[in-house]
Amino acid sequence: MDARFAEFVQARHKDLLRRAYLLTGGDHAAAEDLVQEALVRGYRAGLRSHIDHLEPYILRTMANLSTSRWRRASSRLEVLTDNVPETQREDTAAGGKDHDVLWDVLRDLPRQQRAVLVLRFYEALGEREIAHVLGVSVGTVRSHSARALSRMRATLAMHDEVGDPR
Amino acid sequence: MTRDVEALLAETLERHAEEVRPHPDPLPDLERRLRARSWRRTVITAAAAAGAVAATATGVLLATSPTPSSPTPSPGTGGGLVPAESDRSADGVRVTISTHCGVRSAWVDGELWLASPPLGGHNPPPGWDENETVGFFVITAPERAEFHGDGRQKALFRLAEPGTPDPNAGCE
């Protein structure tokens, strides 16, 4: 493997995995798979010697793969690890319950809506950039974002009315 | 109660992103995937070349073509793209050109070449294979080359300036 590419992977893997984790709605195994697949595609696309172009390519590839059905057809080469990710955590900080509610809604969203929200509120991309990354129109980005946020507001309001149902 | 859902969501994403526990060394798995993918592409290349040789003996390029790449991946190389799928001969380098989004670029020995002119818009040009076409890449002049496909396809290329993004990079 090209030394610069290997150096990039070592340096950026954790951050790429964070993005993938959000894009997959908190599926750790799928996130590992997503990062690896995007890296393989970046390497094969010849970007191993153009590191400056690699990270945007990886993000775009991960976002698009996460909205497709790629993983069902993949070979499911998964990494076995002793480090089990947390699935539940104690959260008594102010707003913690709201975060849990939003996270549950996010995980339940259609994949493209989830990708739009991750790109907008984690990557801090603008609507045009998101449209470019996902290969959709700006109108589609707006409508996905509006629907997803509306669902989140409604769910939070419902929790306020009935109290914490957990 | 009114909340700033957008700000809450941004915080939520930040907090949950911290949950990831990355594998301490992602490289072995990546190397394995690259080797597996290289193996698959080499077999495709070899099969396509063998089929072309069996089908025709008329092409000068084919008549002098070397044995197709060995389908055995070479351990320790990391499955590098070019060494695994190219063979050299006096007639050039054996390569596989991506055609799925048109003939727009080729990577040969780690260098990016741009089709001049690009062929096929964003689709395989007529007469080219749907996803990939196998053939020989021949340097004809400084920074100029021709691709001769096994099915008599032809495209002209020029060497890209260093740092030029691959126009085919986003092709899925």
What are residue A165's phi and psi, to 5 degrees?
-75, -5
Q: In chain B, what residues touch A17 (CB-CB under 8 Å)?
A: 20, 22
Question: What residue of A is the nearest CA neighbor of B11?
Answer: A99
Q: Are strands B103-108 and B111-119 parallel, antiparallel or unpaired?
A: antiparallel
Please tell me if residue A69 touches chain B, with a CB cutoff of 8 Å: no
pLDDT at residue B106 greater than cutoff 60: yes
Q: Residue B52's pLDDT is what?
A: 44
Q: Residue B109's pLDDT is what?
A: 63
Q: How far is C-alpha B9 from the geometric centre of its chain's CA atoms? A: 39
Lowest mean pLDDT of A56-60, A156-160, B55-59, B89-93, name the range.
Answer: B55-59
Q: Are strands B132-141 and B111-119 parallel, antiparallel or unpaired?
A: unpaired
Q: In chain B, what residues touch A85 (CB-CB under 8 Å)?
A: 19-21
Q: Residue B5's pLDDT is what?
A: 93
Q: Is residue B164 very low, low, confident or very high in pLDDT (cuts 50, 70, 90)?
A: confident
pLDDT at residue A163 greater than cutoff 80: no
pLDDT at residue A100 greater than cutoff 50: yes
pLDDT at residue B24 greater than cutoff 90: no
A70 to chain B, closest Cα gap in Å: 11
**What value does the mean pLDDT of chain A take?**
81
Q: Is residue B102 very low, low, confident or very high in pLDDT (cuts 50, 70, 90)?
A: very high
Whether residues B37 and A103 touch (CB distance < 8 A) is answered with no
Q: Residue B76's pLDDT is what?
A: 32
Q: Residue A84's pLDDT is what?
A: 45
Whether residues B12 and A103 touch (CB distance < 8 A) is answered with yes
- Counted across chains A and B, CB pairs separated by less than 8 A come out at 134
Please tell me if residue A161 touches chain B, with a CB cutoff of 8 Å: no
- Cβ-Cβ contacts under 8 Å for B75 (sequence gap 6 or more): none
Residue A14, token pair as written in the block = 């954790």
**What value does the mean pLDDT of chain B take?**
70
pLDDT tens digits for B63-85?
223 333 333 333 333 322 333 33
Q: Residue A69's pLDDT is what?
A: 58
Most confident option among A93-102, B18-27, B50-59: B18-27
Q: How far apart are CA B98 and CA B104, in angstroms?
A: 8
Q: Residue B117's pLDDT is what?
A: 95
* Cβ neighbours, 10 Å, residue A151: 15
- Cβ-Cβ contacts under 8 Å for A17 (sequence gap 6 or more): A31, A32, A35, B20, B22
- Cβ-Cβ contacts under 8 Å for A110 (sequence gap 6 or more): none
Q: What letters, b where the CB count within 10 A reaches 16 and e where it falls short, cover B8-31?
A: bbbbbbebbbeebbbbeebbebbb
pLDDT at residue A134 greater than cutoff 90: no
Q: Residue A140's pLDDT is what?
A: 93
Q: In chain A, what residues touch B166 (CB-CB under 8 Å)?
A: 45-47, 50, 53
The strand ranges marked E within chain B are 88-89, 92-98, 103-108, 111-119, 132-141, 144-149, 154-159
Helix (H) or strand (E) holding B28: helix B27-55
Q: Is residue B48 very low, low, confident or very high in pLDDT (cuts 50, 70, 90)?
A: very low
Q: Residue B142's pLDDT is what?
A: 60
Give the residue with greater pLDDT, A41 vs A93.
A41
Lowest mean pLDDT of A99-103, B62-66, B97-101, name the range.
Answer: B62-66
